[in-house]
Amino acid sequence: MELYFSAMACSLASRIALYEAGGDARFIEVDPKTKRTLDGADYLKIYPLGLVPLLRLDDGSLLSENAAILQYIAARYPNAELAQYDDMQRAPAAMAVFHRHGIA
Partner 1 sequence: MTCSARLQQWLCFIGTELHKGLFIPLFDQKAPEGTKPHTLVKSRSRLDFLNGHLTGREFLLDRFSVADAYLCTVLNWTKPTQVDLAPWPAIRDYQRRIAARPAVAKAISEEYALYEAELVRHRAA
* Of positions 40, 45, 88, 93, contacts partner 1 by CB under 8 A: 88
> Kind and range of the H or E element at 90?
none
Q: Is the CB of 44 or the CB of 96 nearer to partner 1?
A: 96
Q: How far apart are CA 97 and CA 90, in angstroms?
A: 11
Q: Look at residues 86, 57, 74, 61 and name the one whose alpha carbon lies nearest to residue 13.
A: 74
Site size for partner 1, by CB under 8 A?
Answer: 36
Measure the CA angle with vertex 25, ends 82 and 69; round to 5°.
45
* 13 binds partner 1 per the rule CB under 8 A: yes
Binding site for partner 1 (CB under 8 A): 5-8, 10, 12-17, 19-20, 29, 31-33, 66-67, 70-71, 73-74, 81-88, 91, 94, 97, 101, 103
